[in-house]
A and B are shown apart, each in its own frame.
Chain A
Amino acid sequence: GAGVSQTPSNKVTEKGKYVELRCDPISGHTALYWYRQSLGQGPEFLIYFQGTGAADDSGLPNDRFFAVRPEGSVSTLKIQRTERGDSAVYLCASSLRQNNEQFFGPGTRLTVL
């Protein structure tokens, strides 16, 4: 079956713009995670969904970041008023249930000019 997919693979935007990053998890996976990875670092947790609800959004850096998962499948990470410091690879992962192996997508490389 298909793995986790993310679109777009690359996104270049200007400072101050709004962006949306999409994640399609593996079918049937109830848990979905967003991470952000800066160059030379490991991924950092942003937010976790169990079904439709955000069970933990403690990793979101500020209120410019928001994520939704309205039907418990596809998720969208939204960033308002982008800043150059938001430039990173945004990774999405899903797992069948909590405490299981997480399967990662290829990521979206966001560049804010």
Chain B
Amino acid sequence: SQQGEEDPQALSIQEGENATMNCSYKTSINNLQWYRQNSGRGLVHLILIRSNEREKHSGRLRVTLDTSKKSSSLLITASRAADTASYFCATSGGYNKLIFGAGTRLAVHP
């Protein structure tokens, strides 16, 4: 079974616009991670935010975490066509067994 849900399920934007994806989860966590996946194959790790952190940045990525609401958001600024992919949040409880959501499919149009 999956831990949480991403919202929206699909997102279509123009190059240069910002993309925001949300993730909700159900149980307490040690950390939350965001991954990107192209063409249904290898997952690429984007960013990890620990349960005692509220915001983290990496390049054009900004992740927030609200443990009281059990939710996280991923913001991609100034999107590019190459950002087209599926994005997954994954939560980690004890030893880092990851529980993934169903993902957001992002399409960035030139």
Q: What residues make up the interface of A, taking CB atoms closer than 8 Å to B?
A: 31, 33, 35, 37, 39-45, 48, 50, 55-56, 89, 91, 93, 95, 98-107
Contact = CB atoms under 8 A, between A and B. Distances in A.
A67 B49 CA distance: 30
B41 A45 contact: no
Interface string B85-103: 0001010101111111111
A91 B41 CA distance: 8
Interface string B26-69: 00001101010000111111001000000000000000000000
B58 to A, nearest CB: 12
A101 B34 CA distance: 10
B2 interface: yes
Contacts of A103: 45
Contacts, number: 69
Contacts of B103: 41-42
Given A40-B102, A42-B88, 19 more contacts: A33-B97, A37-B40, A41-B2, A42-B101, A43-B98, A44-B1, A44-B100, A45-B99, A56-B97, A89-B41, A99-B92, A99-B95, A99-B96, A100-B96, A102-B45, A104-B43, A104-B44, A106-B41, A106-B42
Contacts of A102: 33, 45, 96, 98
A47 to B, nearest CB: 9
6 cross-chain pairs, A with B, having the tightest CB-CB distances, nearest first: A42-B100, A98-B95, A104-B43, A106-B42, A99-B96, A98-B96
Contacts of A48: 95, 97
19 contacts: A31-B96, A37-B40, A39-B40, A40-B102, A41-B103, A43-B98, A44-B2, A44-B100, A45-B97, A48-B95, A48-B97, A50-B95, A55-B95, A89-B41, A100-B96, A103-B45, A104-B35, A104-B45, A106-B42
